[in-house]
Structure 1
């Protein structure tokens, strides 16, 4: 077995007397597409916040690419190669679609503040390179025709795609998607399923996604973790999760399990 890209070892966090996540273990290997499911309030987004430095674990260790992440700031973790989207879309609404993607490239910009202040040739070369790469991403997500449109003016489904494009522009090794299909219609969800599989292959990504749409989860994920009340109650293949009595009782229900 190869060394995991991400290893979560007995991780937990407590807010006052509430344990939002407790004694959680998980591993992701390079190239995997893994789901994280569970009822509302199970601790899924809190888990993402722990992985990205928004919260610092009160117990356990998070290791990414062999390096311990505990205590790192979110921007430091982004530079290490973890990028995410959010349950509630967080775009720069007044910026153009193109500028939303270009912003993400600045975390890996080759030109520094000195060249930008003094408008040196390296600044202009760097900006041109970022714009060209950003447009490439917009083409992949079928957003090139909207590049000068304000982000707030995009339809909901396209805003979701823009947020994923921006997350990819940070050049991650691990992409965290927090309910990417939320608010989408069935056709948009189907297209998203294909898009997630495509970008995983094209960019050689490892993907962890939170999602309530079981057809999407079961359709694209190779393995699934299940959280309930902050604790990991199951893990396995989609088939194993679909038939797990604990998962059916805590989250899926008989009808959903049968349809998934």
Structure 2
């Protein structure tokens, strides 16, 4: 076994150095790899790099299969070409390409991004098909299937030769790489990653899912337009047929094979999809590539078989796909006739066998060998943020009612919660407790009744409106942002980024030493506390905790009681607490509300609720049993 090596630099610094070395090498490459054909491939790789960074914004960060990117690429190319024909100079022609792709991209995003999964993919596929039809039919503008021919204009009176234009494309790619990296690592990028993991929590915490979806899609569309402009300046010729189904598959292959959520992955994917079609014309090189891929794909299933176990689908499927591609390379007379099928096989093998792509696999390998110095954490400052002083109760509901078909989930529920008061909400399973929180937080819209949060009446059925009014919540079923670290999960929920305050909140919930850990690496109990920290980061007026002690160990429950008590003592926040643990309710709550069948059947102090005959009957069905069995715990079974 080899011990890890510490090069003595931060990971971000090492990445900057490696990226700079890569681009210097690429800039020098034309001097040793001669020929117009080679230079054309290198320029195309740079253009595809810009294009795939844009596609990764939707496919990687949003997790949506975007089939419209090739069409937006075409729109940008035609926008630039028509601008050049109209006499526009170099920079304005590129700007025209960006704008002509950005506008339809943003227009497509607003309705389409309300859809998920196959519906979103079909909507973008429809847009792509319609775009190709329009480009073919508008012959008076686009010259239809015959295509457009242009000459590359001068760049501020400088006539760029092929090498000069290649260097220009490298500069553009480097700039877009840096800009995209900064954007997607900012709070905006954190929000985009958060909504990929949990759109519901993203809206409930006031981050906003739709606007960040549209922003990511629009950013990707603008980059598609820029890449389209560079593409037509590189080739000087456009034809609608070049932007069809095959290009869609190639672009998806590039993002998935290179590695999603990574600019490095987009670049590696661009290199693969640029060189792959050219490898098909060289049987020897293609056979060597597929043989290597087949060998690598068979390592995992063979190891599994040696250990006398059956390979999983994720192990066997890529091996079968690569084996089929290998057979094609040896026995098919003309490989290029099978290019679409080969691209589909590679895409399937990459999706199943390389979920993190080449970039992810290389990153994991490097991290096994090198240990970089971590980025310094901000000094923790502050504790529990106090909300602005507002008029009215933190929460007041009046005659809230919600029906699901013929079932009354919540029936004319009314309650008021004062600043600094903890109100427990208890009741048998299915009594409507979580439905009530869903109504207040805006996840559901009530059929009748009103909701007042800190003196305002948010729009019913709107998570964002409720969050803006001052409502924040945790979830009975955890909704973590798995892609983010614990610290970033707090920062993304802040109305204004304050890293020291975010560290202060992590210290408050006992996770300061786990600030750098991703949520996917945290324990169940830690995620429960992190959800409370996220909710507090929004500076709420009403904090709704949905069974926060569920699944916790005894020490964690004790720690939870201390945390909620400190919130109660130090911040004028109203707290609505759903809980099944009797000790938590008794120790923390000023009042307890009991629900049964969607109705409020009792409201009073914990001691009064213990003795209430309606509560005893609701839980036990018999009035002669002691009320201490009202709320069952594992330690005190009834």
Contact 1:61–1:70 (CA under 8 A) maintained in structure 2? no
Structure 2 contact 508–563 (Cα < 8 Å) conserved: no
Contact 2:616 2:630 in 1 (8 A): no
Q: Which residue is 1:232 aligned to?
A: 600
SS at match of 1:67: coil
1:77 aligned residue: 466
Report the Cα distance in structure 2 between the residues aligned to 1:79 and 1:225, rounded to whole angstroms: 26
Q: CA deviation digits over 1:67-114, x for unaligned, max 9?
A: 223426211211211100000111101211111111111xx23xxxxx
Q: Could you tell me which residue of structure 2 aligns to residue 36 of structure 1?
A: 425
Residue 176 of structure 1, CA deviation: 0.4
How far off its partner does 1:259 sit?
8.5
Would you say 1:257 and 2:628 are equivalent positions?
Answer: yes
Provide, for residues 149-180 of structure 1, a one-character-per-residue CA deviation record: whole Å limited to 9, x for no partner: 01121122111111100110011011100000
Answer 1 or 2: higher relative contact order, Cα 8 Å, separation at least 6: 1
Partner SS, residue 101 of structure 1: helix
Q: Please say if residues 34 and 224 of structure 1, whose CA atoms lie closer than 8 Å, have aligned partners that are also in contact.
A: yes
- Is it true that 1:217 corresponds to 2:547 in the alignment? no
SS at match of 2:551: coil
> Is 2:486 the counterpart of 1:97?
yes
Judged with a 3 Å threshold, the aligned counterparts in structure 2 of structure 1 residues 259 and 14 are, in CA distance, closer, same or farther, namely closer
Residue 172 of structure 1 corresponds to 540
Q: Is the 8 A contact 2:397 2:450 kept in 1?
A: yes
> Partners of 2:531 and 2:407 in 1: how far apart?
31
Instruction: Judge conservation of contact 2:490–2:537 (CA < 8 Å) in 1.
Output: yes
Q: CA RMSD in A?
A: 1.8
Q: State the Cα distance separating 1:24 from its structure 2 match.
A: 0.8
Higher strand share: 1
Q: Which residue of 2 aligns with 1:4?
A: 393
Distance 1:227 1:69 in 2: 24
Within 2, Cα distance between the matches of 1:205 and 1:63? 15
Q: Which residue of 2 aligns with 1:113?
A: none
Q: 1:15 to 1:258 in 2, by over 3 A?
A: closer
Counting matched residue pairs gives 238
1:160 to 522, 528, 531: 528
Residue 256 of structure 1 and its aligned partner are, at CA, apart by 5.7
Shift of 1:3: 5.1
Residues of 1 paired with 2:459 and 2:607: CA distance?
A: 33
1:132 has 2:500 as partner: yes
Q: What corresponds to 1:27 in structure 2?
A: 416
C-alpha contact (below 8 Å) 1:248/1:257 kept by paired residues: no
Aligned to 2:451: 62
Distance 2:528 2:485 in 1: 15
Runs of 4+ in 1 over 4 A off after TM superposition: none
Q: 5+ unaligned residues in a row in structure 2: which ranges?
A: 1-390, 632-638
- Report deviation, 1:4: 3.2
Q: Secondary structure at the match of 1:68?
A: coil
1:179-190 map, 5 Å: 179-190=547-558
Give distance in 2, aligned partners of 1:94 and 1:245. Answer: 48
Give the CA deviation at 1:238.
0.4
Q: Is the 8 A contact 2:443 2:461 kept in 1?
A: no
Rounded Cα–Cα distance in structure 2 between residues aligned with 1:174 and 1:5: 5
Aligned equivalent of 1:114? none
Give 3-state SS (helix, strand or coil) of 1:197's partner: helix
Alignment-derived partner of residue 119 in structure 1: none
Structure 1 residue 141: deviation in Å? 1.5
Match of residue 511 from structure 2: 143
SS at match of 1:30: coil
The alignment's TM-score, normalised by the length of structure 2, stands at 0.36
CA contact (8 A) 1:5 1:65 kept: yes
SS at match of 1:93: coil
- With the length of structure 1 as denominator, give the TM-score of the two structures: 0.86
Is 1:246 the counterpart of 2:614? The answer is yes
Q: Deviations over 1:173-230 (max 9, x none)?
A: 1110000000012221122111101022223211110000011101110101000110
Unaligned 5+ runs, structure 1:
110-126
Instruction: Find the aligned partners of 2:427 and 2:629 in 1 and give their Cα distance.
Output: 17
- In structure 1, C-alpha distance between the alignment counterparts of 2:487 and 2:414, rounded to whole Å: 38
